[in-house]
Structure 1
């Protein structure tokens, strides 16, 4: 796999080497371009669908499990919810998000925001719209939080104290955190405990691949998952399969979907 939009969540036991600084530098190089192109294909569409199908009082909170060092979900859902919780297993990733909130990051998110605004169909060249959009995103994260998460534990996010949210989102997380399909199903169940009945679940997953690499070397191993296995796991944890809306990008080897929890 040569995709560059996976996050660091929980490097598993069969990772040979992992250098967080090297990963971060790579991630924000070519990978930010690939991540935007692939991940942001679906997220603004799902955000729009949620606005169309959920009343404002039904979509107050969003939890992103495994956000990595990125703020994609905050940028895409800045006008959809009131509170966003960005979580990850790796402290360095959480530090990068906190730097962004504090205005001390060295990474410029403006090109990514332009892509999001184009996808939304907005007037992205309107004066001040990029800065306003970023400030809105920061505002909803400040109302929520930046928290540690471990998908192998229940609760996944200890700081949430059992609280359930309206929207649960996870992109390219479990395939890097799990070694077996049984583990995957347990972690999926753990995550789903944070989503209220009637809430929306958004998933981005790599399909039928077993490694993440930088184009030069393997950075960590992935659990090989088929679309059928993923859908079966979702059905077991109480997802309404009749509500599934999915996009399969065969050229990229990824699938995005949104569904409702019973």
Structure 2
């Protein structure tokens, strides 16, 4: 990580290596323990589903990369209905363990049933079939630890595997300390896509922090224009960017979500 990148993050917020020592996975998951639908999060889930429904004729059904999934599985749950294999990655080992616990159906695994029911009922699908597809997709893929995206050495981004879909949900704006790093990460992601492949992103909008167990973690403020321009600069085509309004609160100062989908040219 460069000195300039480090100085960009607020001194009041935690970032990068702090996730290894100060991020509390259980506390983060507790926010999903009593799932209640709120209009903005409902819109975020529906927008993600609509991206797949509207572009299913263009999205390859083979391999997907979920980049920076954290300990959460709601994005993977949607993704698994459209791909056969998910390589799930995160920076924090305790987050990856939470995913493994769910795959193995361990007693202490987080229970995603309520959220999965909400998502699958919205699509009139059978919950058990959707969960089965998710476990299969995760087992066909890999679980990999990411390195810091602010440095050049990130084995996942530098890897040789190629994907039909890359999904990164509520991650890159927390991981990237500068807009330049964010742009560079999108370029590196495009290199991992097969020709015609697609990237799907969700971010907090205009967010500078989020809180887990009284600890504030850094967020890079982005909005619809910044995301669109970064995708265009990276060489993506057919860029679709949507904003969703949400109220600010003491746990995160985002004023909404940004949801984006873009494609790598078939000629690359």
Q: When the two structures are superposed, what TM-score results if normalisation uses the length of structure 2?
A: 0.78
* Equivalence map 1:1-262=2 (5 Å): 11-12=15-16, 18-21=22-25, 23-29=27-33, 37=42, 39-54=44-59, 58-104=60-106, 105-120=108-123, 122=124, 129-150=126-147, 151-152=149-150, 156-158=154-156, 161-214=159-212, 217-240=214-237, 243-251=238-246, 253-262=256-265
CA RMSD of aligned residues (A): 2.8
**Count, aligned residues:** 240
Deviations for 1:165-186, whole angstroms, at most 9, x for unmatched residues? 0001101112111222122222
- Return the alpha-carbon distance in structure 1 between the equivalents of residues 190 and 263 of structure 2: 11
Q: Give the conservation status (yes or no) of the 8 Å contact 2:29–2:110.
A: no
Q: Give the conservation status (yes or no) of the 8 Å contact 1:44–1:119.
A: no
- Per the TM alignment, residue 32 of structure 1 is displaced from its structure 2 partner at its CA by 7.8
Q: Give the conservation status (yes or no) of the 8 Å contact 1:61–1:84.
A: yes
Q: When the two structures are superposed, what TM-score results if normalisation uses the length of structure 1?
A: 0.80
- 1:7: which partner in 2? none
**Structure 1: gaps (5+ residues):** 1-9, 124-128
Q: Give the conservation status (yes or no) of the 8 Å contact 2:69–2:169.
A: yes
Deviations for 1:62-107, whole angstroms, at most 9, x for unmatched residues? 1110111012233112231111111101011000001111111432
Q: Give the conservation status (yes or no) of the 8 Å contact 2:167–2:199.
A: yes
- Return the alpha-carbon distance in structure 1 between the equivalents of residues 89 and 117 of structure 2: 24
